[in-house]
Amino acid sequence: MSLSSYLKDIKDAATSLFEGFAITSSHLVRKPVTIQYPDKTPRPVSDLLPERSRSWLRVEMDICTACLNCEKNCPIDCIKIVTDKDESLGRVMTHFDIDMAKCMYCGLCTEPCPTGAIHFIPEFERAAYSLDSMVERFVPEDGKIVPYKPPKKDKVEEVKVEEAKDNA
């Protein structure tokens, strides 16, 4: 090894060392980015989330048609819907469960829903001690829910005409 290459290595090491010190010292004078959650947030954390954040799934059972599109489109089968026939009520849902421990929040279940019954809500604080408590049950135990039946197209047009008359 020659003296010139030895001096070049010393110069490179010193340059690298001072570049590291420059980066470190620039971070010493910056305002910290860490927020002391939840005590010192300027607004509620759910308001700080992006508009399209995928936080937690919610199902509006009053407009769910039990079409099973969300269950079919879920790539990891975390949605389980069971429908039965009841003599007096007709077709009923006996189970609508989402295992949030399995869910990867891809949103593929929300897109095919014809009524928009399944959607994300801006809630993310769901710590749990067991995986069983991460299963969200939308039909009560031993309960039955009659699925929503959207009005036929003719009735929808009549409703729109009546709404237009009311607004005029």
What string of DSSP letters covers 93-123?
Answer: EEEEEEETTT-----TTTTT-SS--EEEES-
Residue 2, domain member (yes or no): no
The residue among 166 and 20 whose pLDDT is bigger is: 20
**In this structure, is residue 84 part of a structural domain?**
yes
Please check the confidence at residue 112 and state whether its pLDDT lies above 60: yes
In a domain? residue 15: no
pLDDT at 156: 57
Q: How many structural domains compose the chain? A: 1
Q: Which two tokens stand for residue 20?
A: 């590291």
In a domain, 137, yes or no: yes
> In the predicted model, is pLDDT for residue 34 greater than 80?
no
Q: Note whether residue 59 is domain-resident.
A: yes
Quote the longest CA-to-CA distance of the chain.
Answer: 97
**pLDDT-based confidence at 121, cuts 50/70/90?**
confident
Residue whose structure tokens are 């026939």 = 85
Half-sphere exposure of 36 (CA within 13 A, CB side): 2
Beta-strand pair 56-59/118-121: antiparallel
Q: Is position 8 within any domain? A: no
Domain of 154, in residue numbers = 45-164
Is residue 62 one of the residues assigned to a domain? yes
What pLDDT, on the 0 to 100 scale, is given for residue 28? 86
DSSP-derived 3-state class of residue 146: coil
Here the CATH number for the domain that contains residue 111 is 3.30.70.3270
Per-residue pLDDT at 165: 66
Instruction: Give the Å distances, CA to CA, from 147 to 3, 70, 91, 133, 159.
Output: 85, 14, 7, 25, 21
Two tokens at 73?
């489109």
Could you tell me the pLDDT band of residue 40, with boundaries at 50, 70 and 90? Answer: confident
- The per-residue pLDDT for 84 is 93
Is residue 23 a part of any domain in this protein? no
Is the per-residue pLDDT at 46 higher than 80? no
Bigger pLDDT: 153 vs 147? 147
